[in-house]
Each structure stands twice: as structure tokens, then as C-alpha cells.
Amino acid sequence: MEAAGERGEEEEEEVDEEEEWLLESLHLYEALHAFELQAPTRVIEWALGKRVCVAGYGRSGRNEILQLLPPATLQAKESQGLCPERDFKVECGGFSNRPVYGLKHVPDTSLLVTSGPPDSSLQVWQVAAEDSDVIKPVSTIPTENSAGETWAKIATTSTRAPWVLHGSRLSSTQITEVESQKKVYVAASGSNELLSSLAFLDANTSLLCCAAGQLCVADVRQHGPLQPAPIPSAPRGQCWCTAVGCGAPGSELSSQPIACLSSGGQLILVDARKTSQCLASAKCGVPSPGSSAEFLSVSWAPALEGCLAVSGFDGSVHIYDTRGWDGAGGDARPLFVHRGHAPGNGERPQVTAHAWHPQKARTLLSAATDGSLHVWEWVQPRGS
């Protein structure tokens, strides 16, 4: 009876702490909504018509791929006050026989591309038509020597045609035309370094980031060997990922800053045209740095100049304003911290993914290992 009483007291304390966090946080948010998914997701992808795609990553059984219709508060360009519909609705869905570790919408199409263990092949999906609510598999993009390889990192574009950039290692990177499966580009590299992130810079060039901390720009017009270079001023022995900033339409690569994030919490900004040059650096105030890089993520705000988000260290998402940073690498003070995924006691959930709203400047979605999905908009600081 004493043990039961102690458990009851612990549960009550956990609830009280969660309620206390909510009460303390209300003044920090313009909007804050929490939803529960049937299974946790490590992907949050905006799709056609401002839909949101999520997918399970369980190692056993079938994993759902869902396209969700956001609540009215998230679809409106500006705040509309109270709205009767405050929940996501499942618009269509399908099942994957493998875990979904990567998911990208192919721009200007109704296609999705996914990747995940046990190999580096890709799966192509057709999102349901108007008279159907099924997301169905339509093809598989195989890769050479994919057996035994880790899952492929992916990026998509439709500048010329629907393309997917994919690879698990620098030497296996290629660009494939999604519908015809024609190989557009195959990397020439003797490096077997694992890739952590990929991105299209424009119609001809792509940024490749190795987990060990090397960057490489690949050009489809050139067939010489790739020349990866270390991230400038980067401490060794850490895992790295990158994010490419949003340049103005028709702008040159110089307007697309690259943010490099390490598992130790180091943030380094470089120029897309000259990745060997450090523009600025700072140290994030993240807990227990270096413990895991599985969910490490950094992303630039599409509608908020100089701001980026960092997650994957614990149950929080940190927002930083990089304007004013220099090359000294001092401690960076976050503009805002969303701690909503881990307000209680016990085992702390870890944020698996986050994504900026494409139009609402200070609105993000974030997901965690406990299956929670949050939509939040922080209050703009006075005087900003």
C-alpha cells in the first residue's frame, strides 16, 4: 500500500508539474496545440495544398504514412481568433512494410518519396486522388550495392523534372528522375563517408554533408571526382548535419547561407559558394551534448530573416537569431525555447523532427518519441 501511495503521489506531482508548465507558458505563445499520433514520427513534411505528412518508424509491423489536413488555425495566413476545428484530420493514408526514416514530397506533383532500413533503396508513393483516401506505393528506386547499406538521405526538386537526390554514403550519391527512374547524375568519389544530409542548391548544384563533418558541392554539369572539405573551425569527433537557407527566387548561391550543427551543440555558418569560409559560429546551450545524433536537426526559417531552429538533443526546440553572430564561437542565447514535449517527470521524450510553417513566420510543428505532435507560435518579443 505504501508503494501504491508513493506511485500515486509521483503521478500527482507529474501532473502538477505539467499543469504548472502550461500555466507558466501561456503568455509565451500566440498559439499552442498538442496532438497525439498513433505512433511516433521522425518526419514532418509539407505537401501539396499545405497538407502535412507524417509516418511511423517502428521496426516491427506495418508503418502508417498519413497525410493530415491541418486545423483551421494553422491554415489561416493570419490569426483568426477562436476556431471550431482545432485538430488534425487524416485525409488519406497508406502502409509501409519498412520503417520510414526519410520522407519528401516531390514539388508540383502528388508523389512522395520515402527511405528507411534495411537498405538504401527508395519507395515512391502516389497520394490519393479526389475519389480515394489511399496513399499507394507505385515504384521502388533501387540502388547499386544497397544490401547492407544504411538508409538513404533524400532531397527532391522539380526545377527541370521531378528529381530525387539520394545516397547513404558520399560515393553512392546520385540523382534519379522519379517517374522514369533514369539516372541523371552519379557521384564520382572514392570517399566512403556516411552522409547525414542532402540538399539542392539550384537546378545544377547540390550540397552534401558527411556525418563526420565534411561538406561537398556536387554539380551535374561536372563529372570529375568530388572534393569534400572539412567544415571550417569544426571541432573533431562529433556528428554533423546541415541546412540550406532560403534564397530569393533567381538569387545567386551567395544568398543561401548554410548552417552546420554538431552533436556537441556547435553551430557554424558558411557561404554556399565557398564552404571553406566560416561566416559565423556559436555554441548552443543544449543539455548533454554529444549523447546521440540520431534525431539531430537544424533548419532555417522561411519567413523570418536570420532565424534557425535546432532540435534532437532532448524534448525541446531552440530558436536562434543568427544576425549579429561573429566568428568567435561564443555561447548563443536562444530567442525562444519550446519545452512542451518534456514538461513532466520520468523518462523524457526526445524531439524527433521539427518543421517551420511556410508562411506563418513564428509557427513551427514538432514531434517527439512519445508520439506527441505540437503546433506552436511564440509571442514576438517587444521592440522587435
Q: Where are the domains of the chain?
A: 1-33+231-379, 37-151
Q: In what order do the strands lie in the sheet with 214-219?
A: 195-200, 205-210, 214-219, 229-230
Q: How far apart are CA 15 and CA 358, in angstroms?
A: 34
Q: Which three cell numbers stand for residue 123?
A: 519507395
Q: How far apart are CA 190 and CA 33, in angstroms?
A: 48
Nearest to 96 by CA among 118, 75, 123, 77: 123
Nearest to 113 by CA among 78, 152, 87, 59: 152
User: Which range among 95-104, 240-249, 262-271 shows the weakest confidence by mean pLDDT?
Assistant: 240-249
CB 124 within 8 A of CB 178: yes
Q: Helix %, strand %, coil % for the chain, to 5?
A: 10, 40, 50
- pLDDT, residue 78, reads 55
Query: Collapsing DSSP states into helix, strand and coil, what is residue 13?
Result: helix
Q: Given a cut of 90, is residue 16 above it in pLDDT? A: no
Query: Counting beta carbons within 10 angstroms of the beta carbon of residue 36, is it exposed (0 to 12), middle (13 to 18) or buried (19 or more)?
Result: exposed
Backbone angles phi, psi at 205, to 5 degrees: -120, 150
293-307 mean pLDDT = 94
Q: How far apart are CA 222 and CA 180, in angstroms?
A: 22
| Residue 324: pLDDT band with limits 50, 70, 90 | confident
- pLDDT, residue 287, reads 73
Query: Collapsing DSSP states into helix, strand and coil, what is residue 11?
Result: helix
Q: Given a cut of 90, is residue 241 above it in pLDDT? A: yes
For strands 45-47 and 51-55, give the pairing. antiparallel
| Residue 5: pLDDT band with limits 50, 70, 90 | very low
Q: pTM score, two decimals?
A: 0.88
Q: Given a cut of 70, is residue 10 above it in pLDDT? A: no
Q: CA angle, corner 260, sides to 311 and 341, nearest 5? A: 0
Q: Is the peptide bond before 235 cis (omega within 30 degrees of 0)?
A: no
Q: Given a cut of 80, is residue 50 above it in pLDDT? A: yes
- pLDDT, residue 340, reads 83
User: Which range among 137-146, 164-173, 211-220, 342-351 shows the weakest confidence by mean pLDDT?
Assistant: 342-351
Q: Given a cut of 60, is residue 4 above it in pLDDT? A: no
- pLDDT, residue 31, reads 86
Single-letter amino acid, residue 186: V
| Residue 136: pLDDT band with limits 50, 70, 90 | very high
Q: How far apart are CA 239 and CA 284, in angstroms?
A: 15
Q: Given a cut of 70, is residue 8 above it in pLDDT? A: no
The dihedral sign for the CA sequence 241, 165, 353, 248:
positive
Q: Given a cut of 80, is residue 342 above it in pLDDT? A: no
Q: What is the mean pLDDT of the chain?
A: 85
